[in-house]
Structure 1
């Protein structure tokens, strides 16, 4: 067992698991987009490929941030919080305005859970910068 896992608080580990699951979900979404682009007839192939590229970029960013959180790097918390804050209005719109609760609901719950977990006292103590 590596030294980081022994000192990483449970709240941070839970947040890492959720962020890693979000990264995996984005990779799956990119795969679906690419498959539908190749096998289907999209209105715009360029737009479909760009959407898939953004999903892959987001997945890579979330995976790197999850890795940074796992190793208790304080700089990893800010991008995770920003991405979760951006996910809230998107998921709300998806769940309630577009009536796609099965898609937007889990995104909203995951975003709120990660924000909560990273602001618990144990996570803040582990991730706060020494000044």
Structure 2
């Protein structure tokens, strides 16, 4: 469903911006993985390529979901929320592994974007009245 009436609310605009920022960040990780795959002395090629492909695919999906939500496609909200909630266990295991400086912000980001996506102005903009 697409709703094109009225201006885009700030909550939806911020959610789209943050999803695209996540896509860019994951794209940079993918670029680093490609460089790492090409310059590693020894590696398990299949595993390296799968991790790199997963990062590239994740960046593409985040960008596409941001674009769809920017066009007020209501069907993009649920997958975007699921991806944001996936940041919670990732952040938790980062904290457990001693990377709390990165894990905590990832968890806050995931909860924040999910909150923006279920907020009342976003619901109205996407036609979930």
Using the size of structure 2 for normalisation, the TM-score is: 0.89
Deviation of the 1:46 alpha carbon: 1.8
2-side partners of 1:29 and 1:101: how far apart? 19
- Gapped runs of 5+ residues in structure 1? none
After TM superposition, which residue ranges in structure 1, 4 or more long, deviate above 4 angstroms? none
Provide the residue aligned with 1:125 in structure 2. 124
Distance in 2 (CA, whole Å) between partners of 1:40 and 1:57 is 22
Matched, 1:48 2:51: no
Q: CA deviation at 1:75?
A: 0.4
User: Aligned equivalents of 2:85 and 2:17: distance in 1?
Assistant: 18
Deviation at 1:125, TM superposition (A): 1.1
- The number of equivalent residue pairs is 125
| Unaligned segments of structure 2, at least 5 residues | none
Q: Pairwise CA RMSD of aligned residues?
A: 1.6
Q: Give deviations 1:65-116, integer Å, cap 9, x for gaps.
A: 000111111001011001111121111111x111112332332121111011
Residue 106 of structure 1 is matched in structure 2 by 105
Distance 1:42 1:33, change over 3 A: farther
TM-score by length of 1: 0.87
